[in-house]
Copies of this chain bind each other. A is one copy, B any other.
């Protein structure tokens, strides 16, 4: 299987993991790259990554220029790992799609962009159709554990009345950025103050629930969400944090979506020294209870989904798509 020629937009930890995955798997062949970081631009991916097989592609500082180079090199898709919010990344997609590139993005809100950015989503859909390309948000969470996997699970059910999905991530084995993001070492008050300002908390839980409900044909009334700190009972030490008893060692987010057809409840716990696991439970006919032992690794799996959704994105009918409505193979 020859790899798709790809443009890589954003060379942060996830963007670099995607390039490593693309190279290792042979599913994609990076032919162009772009980032805003002056420490990266002008250097080659091979130099930045220091991984066997990563090609000598020079990192551009300009998106339109990188898109033009990519298209000239025969690229069919851009893999975009830049921002979490639709409005942040929409102009990037517009540029990429206008150049004729399909786009797969790790942008969390793009898993179901109609939830928070309805107008922008409609504009992106129109732009994708006009350009004859597809645009897709992908990842492990959102994008798999709390949405695609529960949805696929319901495919065996004659009827569904409730879906419970849980993801527990052991922050201790993850990178510094994630340990900080979940509030490690904060006091309970600091955590709550940040949470009130949306400065803490995983982006995408609402999108997962909305994608799942929409894929089931459910029309929901409202989505309730909450976030609580997980407090350390004992001191916790990681490579990056030294959390004392009584300080925050992570976050617990919950969600409840109530639709006339049924209920979706989700729980996302990301905390230091909390054993990882993922689970889906469907109440229906038949009921189904599924457990992912040890959970699915975050960054590795996000890069995995991105490279695996390039073919589906290219094959899909033009427009703004979701991971549940593209052909998976």
Contact = CB atoms under 8 A, between A and B. Distances in A.
Contact of A155 (B155, B216, B328): B328
Interface residues of A, number: 48
**The 7 nearest A-B residue pairs measured at CB:** A21-B158, A156-B301, A286-B297, A215-B329, A286-B300, A324-B329, A289-B293
A290 interface: yes
Contacts of A38: none
Interface centre among A20, A21, A151, A152 (most CB of B within 10 A): A152
Interface centre among A24, A156, A290 (most CB of B within 10 A): A156
Contact of A291 (B290, B296, B305, B322): B290
Interface in A106-136: none
A285 B300 CA distance: 7
Given A140-B156, A327-B327, 12 more contacts: A25-B158, A144-B155, A144-B156, A151-B329, A155-B308, A155-B328, A156-B301, A157-B304, A158-B307, A286-B304, A290-B293, A291-B291
Majority SS of interface residues in chain A?
mixed
A292 interface: yes
Given A144-B155, A326-B327, A290 B289 contact: no
A288 interface: yes
21 contacts: A24-B159, A25-B158, A149-B152, A152-B328, A155-B308, A156-B296, A156-B304, A156-B308, A157-B304, A157-B308, A158-B300, A285-B304, A286-B297, A286-B304, A288-B292, A288-B296, A289-B292, A289-B293, A290-B290, A324-B327, A325-B327
Nearest to A20: B158
Interface string A143-162: 01000110110111111000
Given A297-B286, A327-B327, A328-B325, A158 B215 contact: no
Interface string A279-314: 000000110111111101100110111011100000
A240 B213 CA distance: 42
